[in-house]
Structure 1
Amino acid sequence: MNFELIVFDWDGTLFDSTALIARCIQAACRDLGVAVPSDAQAAFVIGLGLQDALQTAVPDLPVARYGELGRRYREHYFAEQHAIGLFDGALDLLQALKARGHRVAVATGKSRRGLDEALRNTRLHGLFDGTRTADETASKPHPQMLLELMAAHGTEPERTLMIGDTTHDLQMAANAGTPAVAVAYGAHEPARFAELRPLHVAHSLADLHRWLDDHA
């Protein structure tokens, strides 16, 4: 398959943040006195941009209060984010791909501020060949993130691979015409992936690493 560009989602794919994000969404809802989404509802919206996430997780929240809830979410998240980090094996995987000549990138529902801070904390600034965030382009599952990354690196859809832990990632890949691989250790249940036909569903970083060794 020989992919030139391999694009990763961040939260729940490389970064072990799924549980924290869900807790912070719930805490922000409690702060505002609105209905608190379940663990599954909060986790489902991970990877979406803020507005799309709130429309889904907190459908009764007036649009005028989106900014307020977003601020409360960020306060909770930034207060706790230093307690989490990359999944074991993620750095080794990225370094192995770079050593083999692949270009690696990130397409995430995080804000630019959030991703840049996460990259600083994990000392990964400079490793990625490109990054796109939800506040600087269209939110998943719109294909714009992937289209911009492919245009920046001159790669065709069939030579680009998207890797993510949610149906939002897989649908974005389908919308962009790129193959995709799903990981089953993040925000969405693996049963959701079948209809989007990923090339592979990896149940661990080690599984993902093996598959990429054989197919990328």
Structure 2
Amino acid sequence: MSEKPFPTLVVFDCDGTLVDSQHNVVACMKTTFTAEGLALPDDQSIRGFIGLNLEECVFHLMPEPGDTDLHTRLVSGYKAAFFQHRLQSDHYEPLYPGALDAIHGLADRGVLMAVATGKSLRGLTAVIEQHSLQDYFMSLQTPDHNPGKPHPQMLLRAMSDAGATPAETVMVGDTSFDMMLAGNAGCRAIGVSWGYHADEELLKSGAERVIHHFEDLAAVTFDH
């Protein structure tokens, strides 16, 4: 069996992979639905669609997906709710344990890093600034200028920015959308178990491995 090339580029998802944002996302989604007088989606349903772009996430949670005016109001309402939430003194999206060490370790190996996320560019930039990660990610791919996951464009653009081939690229994420994104772009896919989709979903949707601690990422990524 031929060896896999060492990766030139590791691309991370954000929510559920690098940062634990579920409480903020769930709270803002419920605020948005309440403002429209709608029945609240349950927490598990909301978490299940984190990773998709906002428009798709809202579409799947709506009681009547065909109501385009309601869809527009919910998307706008969520953006406003999250912006207000981010201004609160207790707003925080913590890095998962071991994330910073894993990023530092990849940087020390000379591996390029990028982010491909369903989060808006404004939200992603806020997370990066909050955790002083500005020097680590050479490409930030969001739905602001790309189709949402699992369309491959975000990964293709990150690879273009890095000058990396699909065989030299690894996608790291917590949802089946991330794994399918990697498959559609021809890249390796590593799932993480601490996010929003079960291990079985990740493996079924294309993960070659699922790790349970960030400390395992380097060994799995460079394992031949």
Provide TM-score, normalisation by structure 2.
Answer: 0.88
Query: Which SS does the other structure have where 1:152 is aligned?
Result: helix
CA change 1:108–1:57 in 2 (3 A) is same
- The residue aligned with 2:34 is 30
Q: Residue 76 of structure 2: which of 56, 68, 77 is its match?
A: 68
Flag structure 2 segments of 5+ consecutive residues without an equivalent.
none
Aligned residue among 163, 167, 177 for 1:158: 167
Post-superposition Cα deviations, 1:111-159, rounded to whole Å, max 9, x if no partner, equal 1111111111111112111111111211111110001111122211111
Shift of 1:85: 1.3
| Contact 2:171–2:189 (CA under 8 A) maintained in structure 1 | yes
The 8 Å contact of residues 48 and 134 in structure 1, kept in 2 or not, is answered as no
Deviation sequence 1:173-194 (CA, Å, 0-9, x none): 1111111000011011222122
Please state how far the C-alpha of 1:83 moved relative to its aligned partner.
Answer: 2.9
SS in 2 for 1:161: strand
How far the C-alpha of 1:76 sits from its partner, in A, is 5.3
The structure-2 alpha-carbon separation of the partners of 1:189 and 1:23, relative to structure 1 and needing over 3 Å to count, comes to farther
Q: Which amino acid aligns with 2:157?
A: E
The one-letter code sitting in structure 1 at the alignment partner of 2:76 is E
Which of 90, 96, 111 is the equivalent residue of 2:99?
Answer: 90
2:197 aligns to what? 188
Deviation at 1:209, TM superposition (A): 4.2
Q: Secondary structure of the equivalent of 1:120?
A: helix
* Partner residue in 2 for 1:52: 56
8 A contact 1:49–1:135 mirrored in 2: no
Q: Structure 1 residue aligned with 2:9, among 1, 5, 12?
A: 5
Aligned to 1:168: 177
CA shift in 2, pair 1:121/1:12, >3 Å: same
Offset, 1:79: 4.2
Would you say how many aligned residue pairs link Structure 1 and Structure 2? 215
The structural deviation recorded for 1:82 is 3.3
Equivalent-residue separation in structure 2 for 1:136 and 1:112 (angstroms) = 9
Moved more, 76-85 or 194-203: 76-85
Q: In the superposition, relative to structure 1, how do residues 90 and 136 fare at CA in structure 2: closer, same or farther (>3 Å)?
A: same
1:15 correspondence with 2:19: yes
Please state if 1:199 is matched with 2:203: no
Deviates more, 1:62-71 or 1:132-141: 62-71
Which ranges of structure 1 fall in alignment gaps of 5 or more residues?
none
Mark the CA change 1:33 to 1:76 in structure 2 (over 3 Å): closer, same or farther.
farther
AA at the equivalent of 1:30: T
Give RMSD over aligned pairs: 1.9
Q: Is 1:179 matched with 2:183?
A: no
Larger mean Cα displacement after TM superposition, 45-54 or 83-92: 83-92
Distance, in Å, in 2 between the alignment partners of 1:70 and 1:101 is 38
SS in 2 for 1:13: coil
Contact persistence 2:171–2:179 (CA under 8 A) = yes
